[in-house]
Structure 1
Amino acid sequence: MKKLIINCSKDAITQIPTTTGIYIFQSNKIPTYIGKSVNIRARLNSHFENAKIDAKEQSIIESSDKIEYIITDSEFKALLLESKYIQKYKPRYNVRWRDDKSFLYIKITIKDTYPKILITRREADKKALYFGPFSSVKIIRNILKEIRRVFPFCMQKNITSRACFYAKIHLCNPCPNVIEKTENSSEKTKLQIWYRKNIRGVIKVLDGSSELILKSLYDSLNKLKELEQYEDAIPVRESILRLERMITIRKFDEEVIEQYNQSERQLTALMQLLNKYLKLSTLLRIECYDMSTMTFENSTASMVVFTDGLSDKKEYKRFKIKSEAQSDFEMFDEVLRRRFKNKWQKPDLIVVDGGKPQVRVVQKILSDFNESIPLIGIAKRPDRLIIGDETLLTVKPPRHHPGFRLVQSLRDESHRFAKKYHLFLRGKTDGIMKG
């Protein structure tokens, strides 16, 4: 890996190559922000451009005097190096890592007979080994997916009576469920040693020691060839090819990284905007509600959830209006009451597609359920925010305000989801009538 340091200025960035690696903003040699990219120069340029409209980006640049950059062979190595450096230095502007609710780690329960590899948001178990932090579950899953092809492991929480699904496709091999059913004690011990060897391989990859593993695998392959044990050499050769492919991936998930960088900017901007009027401690979970109807037949509603500024589709809910509601207000009343009768995770902010009348309805429901959740509405023509406090203040942020764009994205996604269900129900009704 090649390390270099430049002055923190836009002119100096032209010295940086358009290659993969990590970059470290520094103030008096202390890291203030750490990031990674498949194109370091382009990413640093975006930091300077975003500083013109984003307070956090501006603070990063104004408080830094140097930028260190480290060139890596692949994005996979850059991902691991970035997480290691963030964990080591805990830079003040890597806010995603500093918020306990947003920590994402790979956890390995090394003290277990069959160590498990899990995704967690806490470093709570002192007996476990942790790698991270990482910026998204998707990135972690991609990392583990690649490693698992080289060193198979189990991700089941509990041992069951039969082999898991992944054992059938050789991604959990040997499977702990199979090992436990093995009656021959020497064979069982052999399989346990094999499984723990795989876990050690996973740990070495996550620790950045892939080259040492490759050397060991090549040594094993050469010995097997010398002994003419060609059948045993085949799986070793496959492991080498998979590991080489994994550590030389040029583009691991740059699109996801950029999505999270954008979501962080939008969340920060929305927090700054709304904290002028509402008491917000975090915006980890935002719920947005919208209704879809035509002559109040087959009326539907949607609850769309954004987690960490990104759509979280597994948390979406759709509602078929059960009452004979004849207005948006009645539908909002029914849906929000149904929502708060369920023990779903509470939101940090509620957004409703509507103006002051709709916001008043939701305020009444929150009061009935003794909930003090921050609330805003987004009204149309032109788009503007309605602050859900006593005054119902109207706020019209600049058109390209990052936080405002996030609320508009929530509104649009909620509208899409509600309309999709409404059209589905209408289609069923039309089919019955035609039949």
Structure 2
Amino acid sequence: MNETNNAVCYKLSKSELTKLPATTGVYIFRNRKEILYIGKSINLKARALSHWENSKIDNKEAAIIQNSKWLETQITDSEFMALILESRLIQKYKPKYNARWRDDKSYLYIKINTKTDYPKILSSRKEFDGKSKYFGPFSSVKNVFKILKEVRRVFPFCSQKNITKKQCFYSKIHLCSPCPNEIEQVIDLVLKRNLKLVYRRNIYSIIKVLEGKTEPILNQLYKNLKKLSEEEKYEEALITRDRIMHLETLLHKRLFSADTALSYNLSTQSTESLIKLLSRFFSNLQDLKRIECIDISNFALKQATASLVVFTEGLMDKNEYRRFKIKDLTLKSDFEMMKEVLERRFRQNWPFPDLLVTDGGKPQVKTALKVTADLNIKVPIIGIAKHPDRLVIGNNSLETVKPDIHHLGFNLVRAIRDESHRFARKYHIFLRDKKIV
């Protein structure tokens, strides 16, 4: 059973369970004949060991352990994607010990009726009606609302029961766009048909996300952004760019906060793993107490900004975050802007990083290397390129490294990159709202 291309199977024993990755994903207890239980966790290793220990005091846990021969794991890039994958697998295999979804009439689904002009997205506990698409089951109303809230920020949809002549509340805050109420008031038949098509495309994209087919959707958004920018439709392009950034964050977000002992343990393991990965490229790399990531956020050469995020001992250190507005308005490329920002950063009386990460591949790394060389500063530099995610090492040969998806150090770099995107996006929205260009 392989829903993803990173499934790994472990023989069920305590010693084997200690080998599981301490990262986000889905786990499956199984024997030769059937799948017995499916769950998700932000730390697969800790959750699996928890099942093992709980089997000593809980009858259900004991039955799962005693009847299973293997534990299969499937890594996901985010808690959101783990939730989606878990629901799909439970629906497909109906595991014996996921009794809530087999026997309890209170299981919850996301229901999308695609047979209407304006498909509705609802939560449902009812039997399948044969006319709608269903996604789930989900364990709680909270999970369903959380999924729909996040997806709606990328692909707006209407939640109003009936079509009226008034603009709905959510359209005023850009979470229902185009609004069916407004579409129905359009007189021009061609425009009306096109607006209906835009709305249905949003629904189609939501369906693909709920099916876990996110890569084609993301690629299409990037194509749309390029086209809108070329046509100088900057307002529409800005909306599309915001949607891309939110979807990227949703798909790759990791939980590296400083609020729990679990996060601290994960951060320590991740930092040690990253040191081990990079030490063969940087001979003097002993510690990674302070990691900085630079992200140039450039919208059609307007509102160009940069963000600097800092992770201290593997955890977000928001007090150290910095924002930059590009001062030289004649600069025409991200690389020139990065040069300006790095020069300004290293002229500040701030602690030097133990590692500098650039959001991007070889061109960005080359720029950072030139700036540090000109300033006679020695700092290890790496870049993180995407599609697929990979590291570019800041040495003479600019080697490219693609660690295994289980690699904690690699995932830490990805988390830092994602946080820099989030921080940059927040600043962009601030500037736009304040009309500071």
Tell me the TM-score normalised to structure 2 length: 0.56
Which residue of 91, 98, 101 maps to 2:95? 91
Q: Is 2:47 the partner of 1:43? A: yes
Contact 1:100 1:122 in 2 (8 A): no
CA displacement at 1:99 relative to structure 2: 2.2
RMSD: 1.7
CA displacement at 1:29 relative to structure 2: 4.8
Identity %: 56
Which position in structure 2 is the counterpart of 1:117? Answer: 121
SS of structure 1 residue aligned to 2:48:
helix
Which position in structure 1 is the counterpart of 2:220? Answer: 216
Query: Structure 2 CA distance, aligned partners of 1:161 and 1:225?
Result: 33
> Equivalences for 1:86-235 in 2 at 5 Å?
86-235=90-239
Contact 1:4 1:69 in 2 (8 A): yes
In structure 2, runs of 5+ residues without a counterpart are 260-437
Residues 1:160 and 1:99: Cα distance change in structure 2 (over 3 Å): farther
Residue identity in the other structure for 1:83: S
Which position in structure 1 is the counterpart of 2:63? Answer: 59
Residue identity in the other structure for 1:36: K
CA displacement at 1:181 relative to structure 2: 2.1
SS of structure 1 residue aligned to 2:151:
helix
> Equivalences for 1:360-371 in 2 at 5 Å?
none
CA deviation profile, 1:393-423 (whole Å, cap 9, x unmatched): xxxxxxxxxxxxxxxxxxxxxxxxxxxxxxx
Query: Structure 1 CA distance, aligned partners of 2:186 and 2:33?
Result: 56
CA deviation profile, 1:271-297 (whole Å, cap 9, x unmatched): xxxxxxxxxxxxxxxxxxxxxxxxxxx
Contact 2:18 2:49 in 1 (8 A): no
Contact 1:105 1:121 in 2 (8 A): yes
Q: Is 2:63 the partner of 1:69? A: no
Residue identity in the other structure for 2:240: V
In structure 1, runs of 5+ residues without a counterpart are 256-435
CA deviation profile, 1:176-220 (whole Å, cap 9, x unmatched): 112122222222212111110110111111111111111111122
Query: Structure 2 CA distance, aligned partners of 1:108 and 1:136?
Result: 18
SS of structure 1 residue aligned to 2:37:
strand
Query: Structure 1 CA distance, aligned partners of 2:147 and 2:41?
Result: 16
CA displacement at 1:157 relative to structure 2: 2.0
> Equivalences for 1:3-14 in 2 at 5 Å?
3-14=7-18
Contact 1:134 1:140 in 2 (8 A): yes
Residues 1:180 and 1:229: Cα distance change in structure 2 (over 3 Å): closer
Query: Structure 2 CA distance, aligned partners of 1:6 and 1:114?
Result: 46
Query: Structure 2 CA distance, aligned partners of 1:141 and 1:44?
Result: 27
Equivalences, count: 253
Query: Structure 2 CA distance, aligned partners of 1:160 and 1:4?
Result: 52
Contact 2:171 2:177 in 1 (8 A): yes
CA deviation profile, 1:235-293 (whole Å, cap 9, x unmatched): 221111111111122249xx9xxxxxxxxxxxxxxxxxxxxxxxxxxxxxxxxxxxxxx
Query: Structure 2 CA distance, aligned partners of 1:9 and 1:157?
Result: 52
Residue identity in the other structure for 1:65: K
Query: Structure 2 CA distance, aligned partners of 1:35 and 1:184?
Result: 51
Query: Structure 1 CA distance, aligned partners of 2:115 and 2:169?
Result: 25
Contact 2:12 2:68 in 1 (8 A): yes
Which position in structure 2 is the counterpart of 1:25? Answer: 29
Contact 2:28 2:72 in 1 (8 A): yes
Tell me the TM-score normalised to structure 1 length: 0.56
CA deviation profile, 1:128-149 (whole Å, cap 9, x unmatched): 0011111111011111101000
